[in-house]
Amino acid sequence: MTTFIQLHLLTAYPAANLNRDDTGKPKTVTVGGAVRLRISSQSLKRAWRTSSLFEEALAGHVGTRSARIGREAAQIMLDHGVAEKKAVEWGAKIAGIFGTVRKEKAPDNVLQNTETMQLVHISPHERSLVQALAQRLAQENREPQDEELMLLRQEAMAVDIALFGRMLASAPEHNIEAACQVAHAFGVGETLVEDDFFTAVDDLRKDAEDAGAGHLGELGFGSALFYTYICINRDQLLENLNGDEALVEKTLRAFAECALKVAPTGKQNSFASRAWASWALAEKGSEQPRSLAAAFWQPVGGYEQLSEAVSRVTALRDNMATVYGGQKTAHVQLNAQQGQGSLDEMLDFISA
């Protein structure tokens, strides 16, 4: 039977603009007829996988996501004395294994002609193979052979690819089914997006010349207690990591800690909106997973918003267990406001 690990988090952010829309304002979503702040799953996943916590815990196992794989190879060949035309041509051939190479040619910067049109996620092992091939081609001053371009690998897979998946239209046999699903986080209460009108002073402008500001600007922000839901298929993760149980446990531990402690990076210098989860529930079992977002369909208001949110989400969990019956799912809670539970206990439960 499949083992699912589910995380339910409540994280409070004061004034923040963690994830912006096309107008620069915080992203929102309407839930239950009320406008809530929102953080996209893409924003959350990137913050976690690029955090120092994740990279230090899983050093050597974190992938690279870029459109410049072929460009990196071409630069290596250029650095080893290969003519620019050949380096670009051979770099584009290498890039073509991972995705569609740019169709519009860039005469001003020919290295752009080695870039793929899509971002490509490759493992450290695959990247090392690309770099080694580029060096070999430079040393032998020749183009790559077809068999040398078989650079995609299933073994030594990156943990972030194993968690979040990979789609390669040009090589579907090397696609990776994501083991982790992340919902968009949303505020449990209704939120009014506000505007911050700000000015900047020119230090070298004298008052006698112009007493006004050197710059005027406007920035949207909002505050919310966010509910985040994450579901991990542990068996899929084990398969993606080629049966490496030790690496699975290490990955789960690092990823869960990131989800609890790492905030998206949007406008952090302006708001310092860093926060750890105030409450968390981890569940593990073979029951079909389900979000507990319905607990917040009606906005949570008042001064005791966190306590009310915890009461609602735990009540919904218990009521669902009563109504649907079946096998009970093991769980562990952490409540920082009440000083209950511990991070180590939760990470041990998730990773075991």
pLDDT at 170: 78
pLDDT at 212: 66
User: Where residue 197 falls among pLDDT bands split at 50, 70, 90?
Assistant: confident
| DSSP code of residue 299 | P
| DSSP code of residue 118 | S
| Least confident residue range of 104-108, 208-212, 236-240 | 208-212
pTM over 0.85: yes
Whether 106 has a pLDDT exceeding 80, the answer reads no
Contact 223, 14 (CB under 8 A): yes
Give residue-wise pLDDT tens across range 175-192. Answer: 999 999 999 999 999 988
In Å, how far from its chain's centre is CA 173?
A: 24
| CA-wise closest residue to 102 among 88, 90, 118, 81 | 118
pLDDT at 5: 97
CA distance 227 to 230: 10
What residues does each domain of the chain span? 4-60+178-198+223-351, 65-157
Give residue-wise pLDDT tens across range 20-34. Answer: 998 889 999 999 999
Contact 28, 126 (CB under 8 A): no
Give percent of the chain above pLDDT 90: 76
Name residues whose C-beta falls within 8 Å of residue 301's C-beta, 6 or more positions apart in sequence.
189, 190
Give residue-wise pLDDT tens across range 54-97. Answer: 999 999 999 999 999 999 999 999 999 999 999 999 999 999 99
pLDDT at 271: 85
pLDDT at 154: 82
Amino acid letter, 188: V
| Least confident residue range of 40-54, 189-203, 232-246, 332-346 | 189-203
| Element containing residue 136 per DSSP (H, E) | helix 124-140
CA distance 93 to 83: 16
Whether 126 has a pLDDT exceeding 80, the answer reads yes
